[in-house]
Amino acid sequence: MPSSTEAPRLYPALRYRNAAKMIDWLCEAFGFEVRARYGDGDIVHHAELTFGSSMIMLGTARDDDYGKMVGEPGEGGGKSIYIAVDDADAAYARARKAGAKILQELVDRDYGSREFICLDPEGNVWSFGTYWPKAGEKA
């Protein structure tokens, strides 16, 4: 069984129509930091953005085998990423200032989380909240 101190094993991977622009936007709006970025000009083949000890991977939407599997950005629904934060109000203010479309205003949940839901400019759903489950702890 993996230890609780190992690196994360789950890495959400997103495709964007304009990944180069979205990297800058995600850093500004949500506080991500660029760990790695590979590509040619405006085409991003692969990028890694960190948020604390977590990471997402992303690239420019392309008509390759992987692109055919995951589909175009914004189509199909059911795509969402939850990010645990210490201060939901600060995350909300930062996202709103950067132009994130707020789908659900800040709310206090009955299970103790303060959270909100927004869209990035290419239609991905992002939820931010203070609920922070730890893999090594009992639910």
For 43-60, write each residue's pLDDT tens digit. 999 999 999 989 999 999
Reported in sequence order, the residue ranges of 32-95 that DSSP labels E, i.e. its strands, are 33-40, 43-51, 54-60, 80-84
Across-strand partners of 48?
Answer: 36, 57
- Provide the whole-model pTM: 0.85
Q: Does residue 58 contact residue 106 with C-beta atoms inside 8 Å?
A: no
Could you report the per-residue pLDDT of 99-139, keeping only the tens digit for each? 999 999 999 998 889 999 999 999 889 999 999 887 777 76
